[in-house]
Chains A and B, each alone.
Chain A
């Protein structure tokens, strides 16, 4: 009977077309509003690296000054000082560890028709690529030897590689960066995780880093860190002073073999902090924190209160739309009372009538979902026009596409419950006599 009722539902869309169109539109607007905010929430709060997010950890070692320190107070900065980063890279119990900072370099294209341009990059250690499952279109990460030497090697993202070298594989090609020759060792595949969970402190281009060079190279060339550099004490000028200082500007990650090794890592870091306190480097007796990916996104407030509020408001709006739809459905179904009477007389039980009208409501929900999807695409396009970072987040994936129809269908079915129940209560004898 489902197919029969579905066919009747489709046919009845044409019945009272103005009323039906109004219902579909109201439902669509409500669905579009909630789906477009949900889409952003989904992108921002989803697990960016499923299967590994509970094995990747950001450590927080508070190296601030003791003056005015209150236990449990929110730290000014959660990055790491260079000495700690080097110490932890040298010795740690985890499977892998990486440190990184954002930077920029000018690139002189090998083709004379393209002018030199400033590019935004990342300077991580080699383990970064394996830790974050970074795909390569061409080549591979730089070698351990390159890293140890601080060699002039670079990995380009796909856009920059195509801009500079066209469709050709540029691995092995040379490139002038900050007036020095660099050898291309790899080209990243399509990799632009949103949110940029691996580097949540400091801004970057919405389209992702345009190049990556070894951190050792960036340090050897004294590249300026892009993003925040927090110093709790006045330091001497110069790059060497920055490296030796307690200023925090490095972002650090550990990867353990399993989530159970977290305790071991925590214990190691506490021992490390204890040693550094004895050496007089760490002056606060602050707890050592270890955040996995999802906890780190929570701490960094990747999903802001504004976004959460928007989602709640959108759902409030959807409920408002539902209430309107209930009213319209009541009107539509009450006009169908004679038909209910006839069907009941011809052998339909209340249950059959309930099924028929609920499926008809579902058809309206699907129509609303279809229109809602179009409106949601429009809304996301409008949101994306605000900024490039919003454009990267305001997108619809298959999951959200399915969710749009699910929300619309559920919303319509919920809205249809009361009108459908009312339809079932029709007394056939009265309807048949009044015809």
Chain B
């Protein structure tokens, strides 16, 4: 599903070069639920941004669902992002002026679906996260947990192959966080690959495996679900 080989990301200013990722290797198989952990500044966010085609990498190779993304122009990267990826952020990132229906509608508009198809997908997605009755509500009228559910519905509406979640429970209390995690597990069980950055070790152990990053490199790999690993799903390259 996602394979990065010898990937590096260097931020350059006129004075300093910062290596956010170096020799980074990871291979995530279709259907996996992988958590990414690591201390602040380890490169987790850079990895997620590159995985989500929101940032370019400096060198190496990145294959997303069979597509080598190196050299793709902005339009092609945007199309790939829209068709293959779904995003869930710590801060929910809903558009405050749009109601839930219109928020979930945003990625579907860029996909070019007709009105009927969009309506069906939006209703299904909101129903899946238990918010079908609140379509006309605005984000500010919802709790944090509900907002994150809307964000999940928005990510799901386009039927992405890979869901990228950046600390999706970071802004939620324990009860809400549990609810969101259960929802993600359901989504994964239905076949969607999930890559989740988290600081929470309790969440990490609930996934198939955990990739730990330090200094821009994969330092440790913890396998939680032998069946998937045995099937050759996870082959993250530990270089440390």
Contact = CB atoms under 8 A, between A and B. Distances in A.
Interface of A: 1, 4, 11-12, 15, 338-339, 341-352, 427-429, 432-433, 435
A344 B54 contact: yes
A163 B92 CA distance: 76
Interface string B72-90: 0011001101110001010
Given A339-B95, A342-B93, A346-B82, A433 B106 contact: no
Interface of B: 45, 49, 52, 54-55, 74-75, 78-79, 81-83, 87, 89, 91-95, 97, 106-107, 109-111, 154, 158, 166
A10 to B, nearest CB: 12
Contact of A347 (B55, B95, B97, B107): B107
Contact of B78 (A1, A352, A433): A352
B87 A345 contact: yes
B87 A11 contact: no
Contacts of B78: 344, 347-350, 352
Q: Is the interface of A mostly helix, strand, loop or mixed?
A: helix
Contact of A429 (B49, B92, B154): B49
A375 B158 CA distance: 47
12 contacts: A11-B97, A342-B93, A343-B106, A345-B54, A347-B111, A347-B158, A351-B75, A352-B78, A428-B54, A429-B45, A432-B166, A435-B93
Contacts of A345: 52, 54, 81, 87, 93
Given A343-B106, A432-B54, A338 B74 contact: no
B93 A349 contact: no
Given A428-B54, A429-B55, A432-B54, A346 B110 contact: yes
Contacts of A347: 78-79, 81-83, 107, 110-111, 158
Nearest to B106: A346
Nearest to A353: B78
Contacts of B94: 342
B93 A338 contact: yes
B91 A435 contact: yes
B177 to A, nearest CB: 18
B106 A349 contact: no
B89 A432 contact: yes
Given A432-B54, A432-B89, A435-B93, 11 more contacts: A1-B109, A4-B109, A12-B97, A344-B54, A344-B78, A346-B81, A347-B82, A347-B110, A348-B78, A427-B55, A432-B93
Nearest to B52: A345
A1 B108 CA distance: 11
A144 to B, nearest CB: 72
